[in-house]
Structure 1
Amino acid sequence: MNQVHHNSHALDVVRLGDVQYQVPEPGVLRHVDARSAAVEVMTDLHRVPAATIPPTMPLDKVRQAMVLRGVRMLLVVDEQRAVKGLVTTHDLLGERPVAVSQARGLKPAELTVADIMIPVESIEAFTLRDVLKASVGDVIHALRHIGRQHALVIERDEPGTAPAVRGIFSASQIARQMGIPPFVGDVAKTFAEIEAVIGA
């Protein structure tokens, strides 16, 4: 490549010879340890589209959506893209669907995601500002403290504006990036396995 200088520009322009373009490598996750930056294990919604569903979706369709998208958590949003809640595989496969259906005199198949989701006012979240200063170990301890395998990361463009969901933390993704084999179990067991690896 030969450089061509233009005095009117701050950047040097180059002429291309043989060149290839880069493409992202889907499914490739960077290996991390407890000292790695927290953003290394955050799903950045500026780069990866959020997996979302409407509040009216029946529970059997929610399970299918998770399988098809290869995720364990879905954001529940309305037509204006406002976050109404979230739902995880634990919420779907745990006792909540049965308890709600019995309390309302309905069959589990009649429930929608709005009936069992974690409402937005109960969602645990961290600010992007704090996340940028945190480590993977900090995230693990925070998730264990709140007793959830998922948490959201929010940011505000300007003071006084409504926060926007910028990212997602997932304990299962953190485990994969730390080289821990896939696991299925309750929250306490999940973090016991992760913390055994990092020596926490």
Structure 2
Amino acid sequence: MIHLEFNEVSAVEDFFWPEEVTDISIESPAVLFFTDFEKTKPLVIDVSTSADLARLLMLREHVKLKLVVDSDDKFLGVVSLDDISEQRIAAKLSKSIKRDSITVADLMVSKRDIKGFDFSEIERVDIGSVVHHLKHNGQQHCLVVDKEMNRIRGIFSASDISRKLNLPINVQDQSNFYKVFSALAS
């Protein structure tokens, strides 16, 4: 074992602070705002995790969304706190389905139902464009895909963007009626 010594800190007054872009605005490059999985480990949950445990873990970790993976860490979809709410879990219950047998797989959004931004596009746009698309589509989160590598590169979070810009970004989830109406109108 290597010997370590404690040092006095009474004369220390300053901190190291992470480098931050101080003059960010709605016109700032979008790449400054997404969680890049090359730099930050993605928050994942196994598809076979019970819905109750997933909810408990997400509440404890203060996260609203996790990426769902299989036992080989392959991407399957996403699950949000809304997806595993008490109401949604209760709706799955029946005489043949018991609460402890409901898993993330039963409540998640499959990757076939998810759209994301291409990383090469994100490198060319400002965060205002991303915010517009999130608001227009009623999305709190959006994945960023590196199409060349065929990998999930990262994720945008409306709450993270709001915090960095110090601006309220109110993203209202569109009702199913609105989504159906919009699809029929276009």
TM-score range, shorter chain: 0.7 to 0.9
Picking from 159, 164, 169, the partner of 1:177 is 164
Q: Show the counterpart of 1:187.
A: 173
Partner SS state of residue 154, structure 2: strand
Q: Show the counterpart of 1:140.
A: 131
Q: Show the counterpart of 2:121.
A: 130
Residues 127, 59 of structure 1: alpha-carbon distance in 2 compared, 3 angstrom cutoff? same
Partner SS state of residue 83, structure 2: helix
Q: Show the counterpart of 1:20.
A: none
CA RMSD of aligned residues (A): 3.0
Partner SS state of residue 71, structure 1: coil
Residues 29, 111 of structure 1: alpha-carbon distance in 2 compared, 3 angstrom cutoff? farther
Q: Show the counterpart of 2:97.
A: 106
| Conservation of the 8 A alpha-carbon contact between 2:79 and 2:109 | yes
> CA–CA distance in 1 between the matches of 2:22 and 2:98?
43
> CA–CA distance in 2 between the matches of 1:66 and 1:54?
13
Q: Which amino acid aligns with 2:88?
A: R
Q: Which amino acid aligns with 1:174?
A: I
> CA–CA distance in 2 between the matches of 1:139 and 1:85?
21
Q: Show the counterpart of 1:66.
A: 58
Offset at residue 105 of structure 1 (A): 4.8
Offset at residue 177 of structure 1 (A): 1.1
Offset at residue 94 of structure 1 (A): 7.2
Offset at residue 44 of structure 1 (A): 0.3
TM-score using structure 2 length = 0.73
Any gaps of 5 or more consecutive residues in structure 1?
Answer: 1-22, 189-200
Residues 66, 141 of structure 1: alpha-carbon distance in 2 compared, 3 angstrom cutoff? same
Q: Show the counterpart of 1:54.
A: 46
| Identity in percent | 30
| Conservation of the 8 A alpha-carbon contact between 1:77 and 1:84 | yes
TM-score using structure 1 length = 0.68
> CA–CA distance in 2 between the matches of 1:108 and 1:96?
11
Correspondence list, 1:6-155, <5 A: 25=18, 32-93=24-85, 95-102=87-94, 105-155=96-146
> CA–CA distance in 2 between the matches of 1:98 and 1:31?
47
Offset at residue 108 of structure 1 (A): 4.2
Residues 110, 175 of structure 1: alpha-carbon distance in 2 compared, 3 angstrom cutoff? same
Any gaps of 5 or more consecutive residues in structure 2?
Answer: 1-15, 175-186
Q: Show the counterpart of 1:191.
A: none
> CA–CA distance in 2 between the matches of 1:108 and 1:30?
48
Q: Which amino acid aligns with 1:56?
A: S
> CA–CA distance in 1 between the matches of 2:169 and 2:52?
24
